Amino acid sequence: MNQKNDIAVQVSGLAKNYGAVQALRGVDLTIGAGEYFVLLGPSGGGKTTLLRLLGGFIRPTAGQILLHGRDVSEQPPNRRPTSMVFQSFALFPHMTVAQNVGYGLRLRRLPKAEIAARVDAMLEMVGLKDLADRMPHALSGGQQQRVQLGRSLVLEADILLLDEPLAALDAKLRKDMCLELKHLQEQIGITFVHVTHNQEEAMTVADNMAIIADGVLVETGTAQDLYENPQARFTADFIGENNIFDGRVSGLTGSGVEIDLGFAKFTVDAQGQTPRVSDMVSVSIRSELVRVLGPGEAPEALLQTVPATYGEAVYLGLATSHVAKLANGDNIVARHVSRGGTSDDFEAEAPLTYAWPRTQMRLHLS
Amino acid sequence: MGDDYTRLWTYRLKWLYTLLVVFTLMLPVFYVIYISFNQNGFGARDYVFTFEWYSGIFTDLLLMNALGNTMLLAAITTVLAVPLGLIAAKFYKATGTDRAKLLTVSLLLSPLFVPADILGSALLVFFKNLNIACATAGEWLGVSWFETWFELGYFSALVGLIIYTIPYIFVVILITMGRYKEQQSEAARSCGATAWQAFYQIEFPQIRAGVFSACAFTVILSFNEYTRTSLLKGGYDTITSVLISQMLNEGMSEQSYAMSSLISFIAIAVIGSIIIYTLVHTDRLEREARAKAQPVMSS
């Protein structure tokens, strides 16, 4: 299954309507073979619809789906090179763990001995060797999801689809299983397409990911790309914790873009984009890059500063968020690593300056 | 059992009351059984115990013929109506909108709301007219091979029984189907199963209880049916219609009492075993249902 340069999934102009509701609108997407790809987005954004279209559980309203170069748009699930892991309730309750895992192999009418051997090997791989004869209802949530994984992986399909596979698990278990999934995928080398609304889960497992919201593919990239250099305003809002300012382009100077925010004027590098004067645009800055300067503290050069009225501190363990109000009434947040004690506290209503490196600001045209 | 605060005597009283109700309901049946062992038959002053009437059952051609007809009608109705009801329930579950669901339910349950004699006589008129139409068309075309297709008999009685039983089958199957999670069919499809394999290997084993209850229900309903069957086939053709027609015209024969008792024995035995089986397995079924409803959240 070594097709590193191959394309596993190629989707073009894919759309799905439910009556008047457009669940997915003209999505183009390419996923390389052997990639761990994550579809990330808010609930109801269309990511599960996209996954179910790939799996063949729903028929596209428009567009085309190529899996390993073969057009499967009109094929039922059992004729596609895919296998799916569901969120929950998907184990066959009248079969033991081993029978669940061996179901697909029995459908292929393989010899009994071969089925038994492959089921054994798969149970070993997903760590359920001792539970082979249990019924699904006697398993914990985490174990049930392992059985589902085993049932799909044993088929050696080229593409594994995972629909919120960890959503029904508690936080601690979800973290552990995330890493396990990642290692499993590296070991087997097939393409994983994983749907989640959980940012941390996505960043843990993904080689590449796509942000999907409102039925539209917003942006694709690696976790680092999307966290550090999001192109779309939506991505900046959805991933990490960003301060976002909306304003109008008031002037262009070389690669610099001057933006009027009403309460202040920022100058941002265009980063290869081509805004026009009087366009509505947004600027974002990650909250961990923002620093709070005390009264009378002079800003260093190359810092962008704004005056703000201090609101409150929110202690989050590793970090503490300092929330303040801007002149236009919006909130601005600075996240500092918590230092313990109360040494970094400020007084409410105190006039302070929030500052961050100019070069770290990002311009969003959409 | 009750909770810790249940008083033993009220608990016993409830049971006593239940048994009393059952006994009251079954009293006429016991009376029929009592008569069936009396050599002098119904209404006689002297009671002489005998098995004579029971041995007479099997030589009574009317009853034997009726038994054959009854079993045949029940069997064919079950074989035809249960799959139809099952398909209807599957369609109902797959239907997307509430409006379509409401329409499906209203259409399927409507035979329940039409009184038996009205539905029966409506079908009778329908088949009579169909026969006249067939005869006229046959004369006109000069051929006669289709003229007897819709004559009153097995076919018309079957149509009546199927219309009558489908709503019950639909509801009984739908109740068990409600618990079934559709993701399991999808999981089966993604394991390589065809739609039929997913239904037969994954869904059916989980709704089997509902399908079997629907079958039992159908057999009982078609067995008991008098109005539609006697209107659409004839008054002396099935056990129930024979008994009722005898009762209305000349009074039941002694063999008929024996026959009724025999059927009661068998019915009580069958239903009793089903109840005992269910009681024994209720705990397991409930445990499984609970486990499916609430997956455990930690490892």
Closest Cα of chain A to B121: distance in Å?
A: 44
DSSP A67: E
CA–CA min distance A237, chain B (Å)? 31
- Note the pLDDT of residue B298: 42
Give me the residues paired with residue A212 across strands: A217
User: Of A87, A141, A148, which is closest to B296 when you measure between CB atoms?
Assistant: A141
Q: Is A58 on the interface with B (CB under 8 A)?
A: no
| Alpha carbon distance A106, A108 (integer Å) | 5
Q: Does B94 touch chain A (CB under 8 A)?
A: no
Could you tell me how far CA A41 lies from the centroid of its own chain? Answer: 6
Question: What's the pLDDT at A342?
Answer: 55
- Please enumerate in sequence order all residues whose Cβ is within 8 A of that of B226, keeping only pairs 6 or more positions apart, or say none: B240, B241, B244
A353 contacts A346 by C-beta, under 8 angstroms: no
Average pLDDT value over all residues in chain B:
86
The reply to whether residue A155 touches residue B197, judged by beta carbons under 8 angstroms, is no
pLDDT at B1: 52
B18's enclosing H/E stretch is helix B8-36
Distance CA A78, CA A305 (A): 59
Q: Which residue has the higher pLDDT, A331 or B7?
A: A331
- Nearest CB neighbour to A83, from listed B191, B296, B297: B191
So what's the pLDDT on residue B242? 83
Q: Does A83 touch chain B (CB under 8 A)?
A: yes
CB A138 within 8 A of CB A100: no
Asked if the Cβ–Cβ distance from A107 to B191 is below 8 Å, we say yes
Report pLDDT for B295: 47
Nearest to B183 among A89, A143, A144 (CB): A89
**Whether CATH 3.40.50.300 fits A7-228:** yes
Q: Is the pLDDT score of B191 beyond 80?
A: yes
Domains plus CATH for chain B?
61-252 (1.10.3720.10)
What share of residues in chain B are helix, strand, coil (percent, to 5)?
75, 0, 20
Q: Which two three-digit tokens encode residue A236?
A: 């900046």
So what's the pLDDT on residue A150? Answer: 94
Whole-number pLDDT of residue B51: 86
Please state, in angstroms and rounded to a whole number, the distance separating the CA atoms of residues A135 and B77.
37
User: How many H helices and E strands in chain B?
Assistant: 12, 0
Query: According to CATH, where is 2.40.50.100 located in chain A?
Result: 241-364
In tens digits, what is the pLDDT along chain A, a chain of 366 residues? 444 458 999 999 999 998 889 999 999 999 999 999 999 999 989 999 999 999 999 999 999 999 999 999 999 999 999 999 998 879 999 999 999 999 999 999 999 999 999 999 999 999 899 999 999 988 988 899 999 999 999 999 999 999 999 988 888 888 889 999 999 999 999 999 999 999 999 999 999 999 999 999 999 999 999 999 999 999 999 998 999 999 999 988 888 899 998 888 888 888 888 888 888 999 999 999 998 887 777 777 778 888 889 998 888 888 889 999 998 888 999 998 887 655 557 888 888 889 999 888 999 988
Confidence of residue B251 (pLDDT cuts 50, 70, 90): confident
Q: Which residue of B has its CA nearest to A161?
A: B190
Q: How far apart are CA B103 and CA B109, in angstroms?
A: 10
Which residue ranges does chain A devote to CATH 3.40.50.300?
A: 7-228
Under CATH, what is the fold of the domain A241-364? OB fold (Dihydrolipoamide Acetyltransferase, E2P) (2.40.50)
Neighbours of B105 (CB within 10 A): 17
Residue B203 has pLDDT above 50, yes or no: yes
Residues 6+ away with beta carbon under 8 Å from A168: A87, A88, A141, A145, B295, B297
A88 contacts in chain B (CB < 8 Å): 183, 295
B195 and A CB contact within 8 Å: yes
Phi, psi of A9 (to 5 degrees): -125, 125
What DSSP state is assigned to residue A22? E
- Inform me whether the C-beta atom of residue B214 falls under 8 Å from chain A C-beta atoms: no
